[in-house]
Amino acid sequence: MEPFDVVDLIRTKRDRGTLSTAQIDWLVDAYTRGYVADEQMSAMTMAIFLNGMGREEIRDLTLAMVASGDRLDFSGLHRKTTDKHSTGGVGDKITLPLAPLVASFGVAVPQLSGRGLGHTGGTLDKLESIPGWRARLSTDEFYAQLDAVGAVVCAAGARLAPADGKLYALRDITGTVEAIPLIASSIMSKKIAEGTAALVLDVKFGSGAFIQDPARGRELAETMVRLGTDAGVRTVALLTNMNVPLGLAIGNANEVRESVEVLAGGGPADVVELTIALAREMLATAGVTDADVEAALADGRAMDTWRRMIAAQGGDPDAALPQPRESQLVTAPRGGRLVEQHALPFGIAAWRLGAGRARQQDPVHHAAGIDLHAKPGDLVTAGQPLFTLHSDEPARFARALEALEGAWRIGDPEEAPQTGGPLIAGRVGE
């Protein structure tokens, strides 16, 4: 006989009550094994979305999802571990240069990543642009690569927080994705189950992020830092601006190219800035406080680790990346200063070009995407290239351009760019 009635628990949250640890443990377990139906959990997630959860409830929900599956153990490694998670945004390819950069200092980075859905690109989709690279590793391969190379970016196993997998899919179709207790417990259950000793969070806000309001972004960051700290994981977070696309490349293969530019000591200034800031935070959580991360990019150490990381997963770091069959250039209609470039429409446009997927089973066109030729603040002349659309199917260009109507604006030369503030807006943690 079951110890609780799920309808009673739904009523409790509906009426702004508090669930006990035992009730949450049972609810997560019963849903994972199928006793609690999807429609009942849908009612619960909507009650949580509308009425929130207290700190203890969020902690209990997170730990219950951790307990639903396996937990990795890195105690046998010869390296300290640290990880990073981004809440996702347009042009966010930071994991690609960041993981090998941090690993080049002898710290292990076990990066379990996902695929894109909608306008937010997935790290695994980007890396699968590289011929031969594979996302699936056995447990033995995972540990061996982490010990030998120091960096692994791969898919999480199905047994890692399986309750979150079910709950995430349900939230996506019930309009409850944006609930902070559910976002925080989803992210942190996987990261705690992953077993890393330290974690740095890149919590994004703005037009191209799940959470647009900076205050709610800070609330999410503070919630996740508390969850990590309560679970014994050294956790800090950076609040970063996603009002403007990150870097100059939005897509998959083109984002890999841009990441390699950063590893070669170049790349767009905003991508370099965020990569360096997150690397310093990750290394500090692992006890490395005197690392010269700029030097590791300039002297080739980070690039060497990247090449080893890609090759260890079957990829050819020297292979040509996919090229689009068709491209369409958009130029400036007049001279002036580019003052607006909203992230979300550019993400949607890249998705419509084939760089993303509407359903999990949809294929991704690795060569599709957008290359930006100017960023807010740049002076442009009439006829100067602003951005180029890429696709394997030219029929996609029209709908992509529809998404970009009103997404950018050229003002007078003296007008200030509308970016919503600095790239790194704050820090939460020790």
Active site members? 85, 164, 171, 186, 190
Q: What are the C-alpha distances in Å from 405 to residues 149, 371, 409?
A: 45, 17, 10
Token readout for 386 is: 């602003």
Q: Cβ contacts of residue 37 below 8 Å, gap of 6+? A: none
**Of the candidates 74, 73, 57, the residue with the CA atom closest to the CA atom of residue 22:** 57
Residues 317 and 320: their CA atoms lie apart, in Å, by 9
CB of 181 closer than 8 Å to CB of 48: yes
Q: Cβ contacts of residue 51 below 8 Å, gap of 6+? A: 13, 14, 16
Residues 263 and 380: their CA atoms lie apart, in Å, by 29
Residues 263 and 214: their CA atoms lie apart, in Å, by 30
Residue 414 exposed, middle or buried by CB count within 10 Å (0-12, 13-18, 19+)? exposed
Q: Three-state DSSP class for 16?
A: coil
Determine if residue 253 is left, alpha or beta; phi over 0 gives left, psi from -120 to 50 gives alpha, anything else beta: alpha
Residues 416 and 377: their CA atoms lie apart, in Å, by 7
Residues in the chain: 430
Q: What are the C-alpha distances in Å from 158 to residues 135, 145, 193?
A: 13, 20, 12
